[in-house]
Amino acid sequence: MSSLEILRFAVRALLANRLRSLLTMLGIIIGITAVIILTALGNGASQYISNQITGLGASSVTVAARAPSGTAGAAAGASSRPLTSADATALADPQGAPDVAYVAPVVQSSATVTSGANSETDTVIGSTPEYFPSSNSTVASGRAYTQAEVDDGRPVAVLGSTVASDVFGAGVDPVGRTVLINDSPFQVVGVLQSKGQGGGFSNADSNVLAPISTVQSTLTGYGNLNQIDVGARSSAVQTAAESEIYSILDRRHNITDPNDRDYQLISSAQIAQVLNSTLSTLSLLLAGIAGISLLVGGIGITNIMLVSVTERTREIGIRKALGAPPSAILAQFLIESVILSALAGLIGVGIGIALTWIPLPGGFRAIIVPTAVVIAVVVSIGIGVFFGGYPARRASRLRPIEALRRE
Amino acid sequence: MVPAAVLPAAAVVPAAAPGDDEHPAMTRTIPRRPDEADVPVLDVRAMSKVYGEGDTAVHALREVNLVVRRGEYVAVVGQSGSGKSTLLNILGCLDAPTSGRYLLDGLDVADLDEQQQSVLRNRQIGFIFQSFNLIPRTTAFANVELPMVYAGVSRRDRRQRTEAALDLVGLAGRSDHRPNQLSGGQQQRVAVARALVTSPALLLADEPTGNLDTESTADVLNLFDGLHSTGRTIVLITHDDEVAERADRVVVVSDGRLSERNGVRS
């Protein structure tokens, strides 16, 4: 008999038992869909967060004030000191900190930015030119402000891309024009490249960058610094630079207990490390859940295939009594398994891919992992074919009378 | 290996089938070997069948001998448990004997591998069961067609021969019905059509009328009479004397041994 006839038998048998066929397929569909979606979610989250980290800036260290922790710190709360310009100057001393390349003191304030009738509230960040590389900010048009402008306290500003388009209107180049920041006129010398959603935890596109001296004179006053960005000479000496910062600031802040500092160092490498370890835990968790879904799906397929073949042992007996060779019986059941598994695999992949198009809250997307799709499909179909084929093979080798006696 | 000459591919429908003269299948003749008449269809020599081992062993058949010649109509009778079903299952190559020889059309079945046995079952034997054994959820047409599919008969020939066989058993109008839409008698007639559609040398029937009412029993037995009159070899199990009376020859199975009952048709 031809393979076409066997194919016809297989299709006829599948159609004759629609419910059973559907149930078998359901196991495969759920398994494959779950694996695709869960791995895509893990992958999407991972890419989203690593984008965020790249937006933080390269090998710089941020020094920020914090309340001392622990009982000693709580008791000595009054002795906690904010960061000052004098701290920044001390860190820039090449004797005490030979591995520090630059120091960028940072002050920031919320201010109203106005041009003509347009006005909005943005964060104004005052610093030195080193702040640009340190914060991973790139100038898209115009230029950054210079050290000379910082020294002279010139009223110049570099606008974030959102600020530029909101205040001056989209498509207008604001370079050379004047904005009012809390009623003080600033000349716009540049516009920053957009960092988009991945550009940091606060939206860097709605910041205005200006020389620290100007911001202090017009907005914040000459008080404390919000943070100090410190750049190491190279990433190789980053650790050395960090310990120099600790020793200088510990001395200046009278810190005796390293666990009780009134400031902290945050490096992007540190953040990346923490986030990466969190991410790999998350990915592992999702992969685990996906694996379990595949396992459960596989057990479902196994069950229904075993039941389906066992239930049809009598039919196999009849076919054998009518002269079906063992190979034809085996081929029919194998083809049934392959059709079911492949069809269900296709549907599962389709549903899985369709579901990853659903937009998710928080601005990240599920990104399909092709390897996971292939593994899921291969495993599910493999299970379907093996557990459909194995009992069929056993049944095809029974003596017809033994197969016929099964009820 | 089954020689091609003993596998008649045509002549599904017996020539005496009423109202069937126009079917093309009938105009063909069964090719025969010159010496074929001398070879018994069934030749069973000192055949035993034992189930189980040791103390719990059950001797279903004890060294039985049986020769059935071409064209004979043999009824096998005996009480339940006497071993008559075991005998028929072995004759139909559905089961294997524990010892002894079984020649089907001159071929020793024990020499054949499983593939060859399936060919033998397909071409040489038509088996009719007490419980019909139609494939569920499958139309009468597909059920009758099935053995020819395994035999590799072309689709057009299958259609012709299936229709002819269903016509012969009086179910031409029911070819689209599924087994659960047919009465017991109709299901058994579908089974008979399926058994004879490959024009096998031998028809084996295990209590074919056991599950049927009187009217259906008469239908099925009349079919057998018709087949017999066209020269078909039939071996049938029954516990019903009226059924046995229609046969040429009655073999009694008792306690795993065979004996002839003479003078049934004197």
pLDDT in tens, chain B (266 residues): 444 444 444 434 443 434 333 334 333 344 444 455 578 999 999 999 999 888 888 999 999 999 999 999 999 998 888 889 999 999 999 999 999 999 998 889 999 998 899 999 999 999 999 889 999 889 999 999 999 999 989 999 999 999 999 998 889 999 999 999 999 889 999 999 999 899 888 999 999 988 888 888 888 899 899 889 988 999 999 988 888 989 999 999 998 999 988 754 43
Of A324, A325, A401, the CB nearest to B89: A401
Contact criterion met (CB < 8 Å) for B121 and A400: yes
Compare A155 and A300 and report the one with higher pLDDT.
Answer: A155
The whole-number average pLDDT for the span A39-51 is 82
A100-to-A82, A106, A114, A131 alpha-carbon distances in Å: 21, 17, 38, 14
Instruction: Please indicate if any CB of chain A lies within 8 Å of the CB of B121.
Output: yes
Q: Chain A partners of B123 at a C-beta cutoff of 8 Å? A: 323
Tokens (6 digits) for A78: 């009054």
Contact criterion met (CB < 8 Å) for B119 and A397: no
> Which of A322, A402, A405 to mutate to probe the B interface, most B CBs <10 Å?
A322
Instruction: Please indicate if any CB of chain B lies within 8 Å of the CB of A5.
Output: yes
Closest CA in chain A for residue B153: A1
Closest CA in chain B for residue A328: B150
Of B89, B94, B118, the CB nearest to A324: B118
Q: Chain A partners of B92 at a C-beta cutoff of 8 Å? A: 321
Compare A273 and A190 and report the one with higher pLDDT.
Answer: A190
* Mean pLDDT over the full length of chain A: 83
Which of residues 8 through 27 in chain B touch A, CB cutoff 8 A?
none
Please state, as a whole number, how many other Cβ atoms lie within 10 Å of the Cβ of residue A210: 29
Model pLDDT, residue A136: 77
Q: What is the CATH code for B38-261?
A: 3.40.50.300
Of A5, A16, A401, the CB nearest to B95: A401
Contact criterion met (CB < 8 Å) for A326 and B115: yes
Contact criterion met (CB < 8 Å) for A12 and B115: no
For chain B, the domains span: 38-261
Contact criterion met (CB < 8 Å) for B121 and A321: yes
Q: How confident is the model at residue A303 (pLDDT cuts 50, 70, 90)?
A: confident
Query: DSSP labels for chain B?
Result: ---GGGS--S--S-TT-TT-TT-GGGGS-----TTGGGS-SEEEEEEEEEES-GGG-EEEEEEEEEEE-TT-EEEEE--TTSSHHHHHHHHTTSS--SEEEEEETTEEGGGS-HHHHHHHHHHHEEEE-TT--PPTTS-HHHHHHHHHHHHT--HHHHHHHHHHHHHHTT-GGGTT--GGGS-HHHHHHHHHHHHHTT--SEEEEESTTTT--HHHHHHHHHHHHHHHHTT-EEEEE-S-HHHHHTSSEEEEEETTEEEEEP-TT-
Instruction: Please indicate if any CB of chain B lies within 8 Å of the CB of A393.
Output: no
Which of residues 12 through 41 in chain A touch B, CB cutoff 8 A?
12, 16-17
Q: What percent of chain A has pLDDT over 90?
A: 16
Model pLDDT, residue A278: 83
**Region of poorest pLDDT, from A271-275, A379-383, B203-207:** A271-275
**Distance in Å, alpha carbon of B265 to nearest chain A alpha carbon:** 33
Model pLDDT, residue A205: 83
pLDDT value at A217 more than 60: yes
What is the rounded distance in angstroms from the CA atom of residue B104 to the CA atom of residue A37?
62
Q: How confident is the model at residue A58 (pLDDT cuts 50, 70, 90)?
A: low
Contact criterion met (CB < 8 Å) for B95 and A5: no
Closest CA in chain B for residue A318: B133
Model pLDDT, residue A199: 44
Model pLDDT, residue A301: 73
Contact criterion met (CB < 8 Å) for B92 and A318: no
Contact criterion met (CB < 8 Å) for A397 and B137: no
The whole-number average pLDDT for the span A332-337 is 86
Q: Check residue A189 and report its DSSP letter.
A: E
Instruction: Please indicate if any CB of chain B lies within 8 Å of the CB of A312.
Output: no
Closest CA in chain A for residue B120: A323
Closest CA in chain A for residue B89: A401
Question: What is the identity of the amino acid at A400?
Answer: P
Contact criterion met (CB < 8 Å) for A320 and B135: no
Q: What is the pLDDT of residues B107-165, one digit of tens each?
A: 899 999 988 999 999 999 999 998 899 998 899 999 999 999 999 899 999 999 999 99
Instruction: Please indicate if any CB of chain A lies within 8 Å of the CB of B229.
Output: no
**ipTM value for the complex:** 0.83
Q: What is the pLDDT of residues A95-149, one digit of tens each?
A: 888 888 888 999 988 999 998 888 889 899 999 998 888 887 888 889 999 999 9
Instruction: Please indicate if any CB of chain A lies within 8 Å of the CB of B96.
Output: yes
Instruction: Please indicate if any CB of chain B lies within 8 Å of the CB of A325.
Output: yes
Model pLDDT, residue B165: 93
